[in-house]
Structure 1
């Protein structure tokens, strides 16, 4: 049954704090559970009410925020109502406007039972884009079993533990892809990102560690600043340690192609059978140009494309887009 704002207690009626708080709770927008079968339209509508209802909700919430709530005597109750109404408004402003959320990401594989990873995303402030789980990470995570069977069959035995394989994820963000790889590939994965991103990444790792270990995988983490010898003097000082390197949605600024390609060259083993798997959403012309530059830099380091593909996935960053998804280019690289 749909909610009607007309049935809610109105400001002019001077309802009690308890009545208003109960109404605001009913308007709470829960983060969506993403699924391979979930259309982008459904994902977005989870954040926003249907168009015919949205203006009514906004007006109702604004009426509470702008009201002095003079008939309510307790100042703490007033503050609680203003805060709750403000949260309901931010939830309807797209992912960039939301506060902290926790999402469940369901994953299915051919070799194991379905499982889910629980990911916390703090409020996105400034340019801390690593605090958001990007749809391309989920798209690549969903493809990990097929990649193991077809592209990495010489390294992975799907459905069996791979305890001696060294895997590194660059730019892990909230950790979805790297943790999924550990669970699906039943191997140890080291998740890395900038020092400022690590507290949330480590939180998510601990939240999901038992799930990953039950499935036969293991996870470690470490701060890794691309292009900085000084910052990486400890854990990552030894070069070319990893048989597989993963990276998703790591090209969105002019200096990223050089930084990412050099990071892959630094950390991927020099063995001929070592592989790097990279996915980049093709959101616009700028992103496509970054991919071209990245490919050129990889080739100059004798890292060549062994195979490349495209997949279409969803994201929830720009809620005004009308198209059904974003095309993601991905490739497997090896040393020449």
Structure 2
């Protein structure tokens, strides 16, 4: 069965809509800015945060910041694809790393109950908003949550129980998340620089993104291969040999029934930490795809955690449709032991097959392969 991308939408610091975010990125405009909000961090930090003026247009009454962002992304994608969320043949899958954890930072939970911070509550309140027939699922697997949710959606379509799977990923920037990454010394002191020799860490971002997977769509983009692995190395450190990402990539290629040399583009995880980017270079070298044009979107939108796999999938899909390769922002000089073909200028290129990868805490790795017909 073909798994097609029926439609999609992005809610990001750029605004509402996939095309808006893509156009800003294509023009080289980064959403990462120095943020001096002391309630988020005691010191100024580079973040890609949705400003209050934009959030006022996103806010949904009686819903949290994250719920509002996800609802707007779902509404936009579903309205364009004309998928009925109330149908028993439609399933909603949400991906997030921390959900409504920002509520726990306020003594009165920002006017909500403490239980609203539970992941199950996120499912309930978004499901209730759309009056879904099926209880929405929540995937929370660190930074590969979005990719895992898309893979799960594809698997569900293969069972023929559903005709459409609506996948929405989202996370918000909070003091908790910032302090956590700071404790690992993983935050960059400036705009992040994936794969560069002077990279020093990540920039966090917040966004929501929605992809509609369908078995009935006439879309020319299909998800043809997917795989998830765990390298069982360390709770917060990737494999030194790239074993997990290597296996996920190979398994996705096998499912897609294409050779490594047929890939035209890799949308990689590229967090700009020393360990992640080095691990990716080793894994891609082992898979013989290190000469394939590659980029990271983290320099534009930051690391959006549970939204990353979904929002970066959308950007990858648009690149396929428009036959364009986007510059990996922040990269200047080779900084990994295994050479990579990092995209240094945005340019046109005939594209058919693209690989989207992700890696995260807990040793998780995910690989998705898309084809343009």
TM-score normalized by the length of structure 1: 0.33
**TM-score for both structures, normalised by structure 2:** 0.30
Q: Which has the larger radius of gyration?
A: 1
